[in-house]
Amino acid sequence: MPRVFKATNIENEDKEVKKDYLDRHMPHVICHDKVKRGDVFRVKVKMGENYTHPDDHDHYISTIQLWNRETLLAETKYSSGAYGNEGSNVEVDFYIAAPEVSMNLSAMAVCTKHGLWQSEDKQVKVI
Ligand SMILES: [Fe+2]
């Protein structure tokens, strides 16, 4: 099993280099808190907030996945150079239909050099 790096409170890190490392690898799930059953809605997954991640031939974000609890809803893949070999906050919009019951969304992201990273959970109430 691979090691999974989970969301941590970056504010608690006093070393700037560590904040940089954690921030740029952390996926964030961004969407409405409440959605109507059956409605298709947008779920954005964005990597990092204050620090960009490299896009080098041997070091880039290769995969972003969106999960609802233990179910994989969607996945996207990137090649190196997809972001012009420039540092960036990779982001992707997924469009999914709200199911019958409320959701507990999370994102997983793979860095080709630094492994597998898991976002904080995002609760979405279905009304
Ligand atoms: Fe990395």
Domain ranges of the chain: 4-126
- Cα of 113 from ligand 1 centre, angstroms: 5
- Cα of 117 from ligand 1 centre, angstroms: 10
In the block, tokens 């972003």 appear at: 64
CA 64 to chain centre: 6
Find out if CATH 2.120.10.30 is the number for domain 4-126. Answer: no
List pLDDT tens digits, range 75-123. 999 999 999 999 999 999 999 999 999 999 999 999 999 999 999 999 9
Give dist(CA 109, CA 26) in Å, integer: 8
- Cα of 47 from ligand 1 centre, angstroms: 11
Report field, pTM of the whole predicted structure over 0.75: yes
- Cα of 58 from ligand 1 centre, angstroms: 10
Contact 117, 25 (CB under 8 A): yes
- Cα of 101 from ligand 1 centre, angstroms: 35
Give dist(CA 52, CA 45) in Å, integer: 14
In the block, tokens 């280099």 appear at: 17
Q: Check residue 115 and give its pLDDT.
A: 94
- Cα of 114 from ligand 1 centre, angstroms: 5
